[in-house]
């Protein structure tokens, strides 16, 4: 479709593209740049993982909403003396989980870049729960987090860019 897109841009007299988006949008923006179309890309992904950028505009929204959600969840988690596991965006970057956990005061953060030992984590989170006077604990998990020796959790059919739905680290599987 790229040749057709270039024809349409020329027919409409569009001098440059300004794609605002994440991986898929910006990867096509790169393709258009490689075809000679002037491109000014604006990174909007919530994962904050676009190479060559320090900050993506969707990241702030993701972190803010995550912090609000965790604060709202804290009351019921504490009153029922539970462990809350909050899965957040972060296919290949754990920054959303890490920063949200820090700002919301969660006990632990699992990130995509570091596979975790489920037995060690269980011991740590139970110790966190016991150390809390209200007997509860909270943990954030990047959607791309993996158990040591395991794979990321994918489900559903691939989208137009070949991506399947990512996440579900809390769902029981045969590999655990």
pLDDT digit string, tens, across residues 22-32: 878 888 999 99
Look up the pTM and report it. Answer: 0.77
Q: Give the span between the Cα atoms of 42 and 18, in whole angstroms.
A: 7
Residue 166 has pLDDT above 80, yes or no: no
Q: Give the span between the Cα atoms of 176 and 161, in whole angstroms.
A: 29
Please tell me whether residues 32 and 92 are part of one structural domain: no
Residue 43 has pLDDT above 90, yes or no: no
Please tell me whether residues 115 and 157 are part of one structural domain: yes
Report DSSP state, residue 102. H
Residue 50 has pLDDT above 60, yes or no: yes
**Cross-strand pairs, 141:** 87, 110
The number of folded domains in the chain is 2
Domain annotation covers residue 116: yes
Report the range of poorest mean pLDDT among 78-82, 126-130, 159-163.
159-163
Of 148, 160, 157, the C-alpha closest to 169 is: 148
* pLDDT number for residue 45: 76
* pLDDT number for residue 172: 54
Domain annotation covers residue 50: no
Please tell me whether residues 70 and 154 are part of one structural domain: yes
Q: Give the span between the Cα atoms of 44 and 33, in whole angstroms.
A: 18
Of 111, 117, 108, 116, the C-alpha closest to 137 is: 108
Domain annotation covers residue 53: no
**More confident position, 135 or 93:** 135
Please tell me whether residues 37 and 89 are part of one structural domain: no
* pLDDT number for residue 176: 42
- Active-site residue list: 47
Please tell me whether residues 81 and 137 are part of one structural domain: yes
Residue 171 has pLDDT above 80, yes or no: no
Residue 60 has pLDDT above 70, yes or no: yes
Q: Which domain holds residue 104?
A: 59-166
Residue-wise burial string across 83-102, b where 16 or more C-beta atoms lie within 10 A, e elsewhere: bbbbbbbbbebbbbbbbbbe
Please tell me whether residues 71 and 156 are part of one structural domain: yes
Please tell me whether residues 89 and 14 are part of one structural domain: no
Residue range 25-53: average pLDDT? 85
Please tell me whether residues 63 and 38 are part of one structural domain: no
* Mean pLDDT, the chain, integer: 87
């Amino acid at each position: 479709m790229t040749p057709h897109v270039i024809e349409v841009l020329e027919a409409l007299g569009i001098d440059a593209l300004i794609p605002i988006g994440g991986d898929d949008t910006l990867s096509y923006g790169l393709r258009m740049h490689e075809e000679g179309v002037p491109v000014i890309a604006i990174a909007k992904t919530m994962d904050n993982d676009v190479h060559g950028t320090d900050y993506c505009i969707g990241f702030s929204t993701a972190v803010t909403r995550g912090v609000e959600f965790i604060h709202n969840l804290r009351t019921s988690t504490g009153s029922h003396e539970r462990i809350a596991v909050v899965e957040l965006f972060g296919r290949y970057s754990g920054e959303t989980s890490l920063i949200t956990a820090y700002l919301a005061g969660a006990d632990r953060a699992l990130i995509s870049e570091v596979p975790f030992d489920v037995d060690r984590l269980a011991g740590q989170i139970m110790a966190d729960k016991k150390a809390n006077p209200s007997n509860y604990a909270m943990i954030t998990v990047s959607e791309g987090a993996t158990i040591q020796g395991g794979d990321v959790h994918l489900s559903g059919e691939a989208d137009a860019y070949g991506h399947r739905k990512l996440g579900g680290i809390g769902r029981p599987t045969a590999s655990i």
